[in-house]
Amino acid sequence: MDASNQLPDYIISATPNPAANRAPWYKNTAPAYAGIFLWFVFWQDAAKAGAPGGTLAQGLGWALLSLAVAAMICHALFYLVPGLFGMRTGLPLYIVGTSTFGATGGFLMPGFLMGVLQFGWVGVNVYFSSLALSAVIPVDAKIIMVVWGALAAFVGLKGIQYVAKVATYLPLIPLVVLLWLFSKTAGDVGQFDAATMIAAERTASATTAAPLGHLGVLAAMLTYVVGFFATAGAAGVDFGTNSRDSKDVQMGGLIGIALAILLTAGFSLVIVAGVAGGAKGVVTSLSSFDLIPAILGKDTAKWVMFLLAIAAFPPACFSSFIAANSFKTTLPKVNPFISVGIGTAISVVLAVTGLVAKAVTVFVIIGASFGPICGAMLVDYLLSKGEWTGPRAGFNPAGWIAWALGFVVGILPNLHAWNPSIPDVPAAPVVAFVVGAVVYFLCAQMGLQSAVVPLPKKS
């Protein structure tokens, strides 16, 4: 049968990004990824973990080491293979993913799923940004949430090219803020003592909960960082299409992902430790964002928070833009204003109701969704010896079984919070990745991969 009769038009018509359009890692991949981690919603809660002392319970050194492990896992396991796939094929994620999930299945996963989950990010962005804006603007935060979400969706649909230009400079705001907060608190880091902080926190909250052990801190950091990064890791395929060679892919990840994570979240950890050290362990919050008034004073802090919220607008627009592109591909007959409008409305509802207030919960859901995708893609890459096989027919069973089992394992922490009788899973996004990888390999060995459909030769 002719290949053109077995493949959807979106695959047949896909054209690789030519070499002439590619550029060095420091002009595209690294700054684009670094901008993601400069978003204050990522770094603000690096010290939080739902237990006394948070991720600082075993000391600042162990927290930073755990952060470094999480950063390298993001680079090496979640980003590198997608980036290399993109570099070698020049094709975007929703095309490359068809070798793992099938020509028909890849249309939904990761294509459509990527678009849907972007609205989770829009909701998180809307919620935290609006709260910061309401501290300066005399308008109810919920009203700001509606306006903020609508503007982000509109710009994402119609004017992303202008947002991209502004976003070149806005990420400098959180970078300057982090350096400012660091300079104000670094002098007291030497006075930080985890045991003193835990004792003070227990006294203030009248809790007898135990702090995290060393493995608990590591697991919490992996959940936080990897969960946040999971969708961006799979999107490494799209970033890779702009890379000239494997060195660009490697350096873009090492600098834009691993180093950016270590610096932004690392500064946040040091800031919290510095405040605790200077106050003999007494801190009102483990969030570096919440501590800004205590560090800079209330009057200065509200304007700093305002600027951090303004700097968060481009990420909201980019999320809307990615969602719009996904829906235009997977729902070509639906007006994108309708599909994106519905998604944005859901994002605003999630923000207004406060359901996205616990960012870690959102990170776990996203990690559970994309962890097994990245794991399956890694094994697909290894089995094909680094070469993209091309699309597989229909729904590739190996990919879908791997994703389903990985997702079930990855979502267990959220289910455990709802019903304690359901078992918990530490470092769930990473475990979901491992399950996805192992199951895909086993399915491939059992012959559960659909046949590769050759791409028609283009004249």
Show me where the domains of the chain are located. 23-358
Tell me the mean pLDDT in the region 284-298: 94
Residue 392: beta bridge partners?
Answer: 452
Say whether pLDDT at 315 is over 70: yes
pLDDT at 164: 55
Place of tokens 């054209």: 15
- CATH code of the region 23-358: 1.10.4160.10
Mean pLDDT lowest for which of 251-265, 324-338, 379-393, 438-452?
324-338
pLDDT band at 305 (very low <50, low <70, confident <90, very high): very high
pLDDT in tens, 318-354: 788 778 777 776 677 788 888 888 989 999 999 999 9
Between CA 413 and CA 123, with CA 418 as vertex, the angle to 5 degrees is 75
Helices (H), 353-450: 359-383, 397-410, 412-418, 428-445
| Token pair belonging to 331 | 């729902």
pTM (two decimals): 0.91
**Residues 6 or more apart from 243 whose CB is under 8 A from it?**
22, 25, 28, 29, 83, 86, 87, 249, 252
Closest alpha carbon to 309 in 63, 160, 139, 186 = 139
Say whether pLDDT at 1 is over 50: no
pLDDT band at 161 (very low <50, low <70, confident <90, very high): low
Tell me the mean pLDDT in the region 120-127: 89
Burial of 338 (0-12, 13-18, 19+ CB in 10 A): exposed
Region of 50 (left: φ > 0; alpha: ψ -120 to 50; beta: rest) is left
Say whether pLDDT at 11 is over 90: no
Closest alpha carbon to 443 in 108, 102, 82 = 102
C-alpha span between 128 and 224 (Å, rounded):
17
pLDDT at 357: 83
pLDDT in tens, 354-403: 988 877 777 788 888 899 999 999 999 999 999 999 999 999 999 999 99
pLDDT band at 459 (very low <50, low <70, confident <90, very high): low
pLDDT in tens, 72-102: 999 999 999 999 999 999 998 888 999 999 9
Closest alpha carbon to 324 in 18, 161, 114, 125 = 114
Say whether pLDDT at 288 is over 60: yes
DSSP character at residue 186: G
Tell me the mean pLDDT in the region 180-192: 96
Between 1 and 309, the higher pLDDT residue: 309
Region of 415 (left: φ > 0; alpha: ψ -120 to 50; beta: rest) is alpha
pLDDT at 183: 97
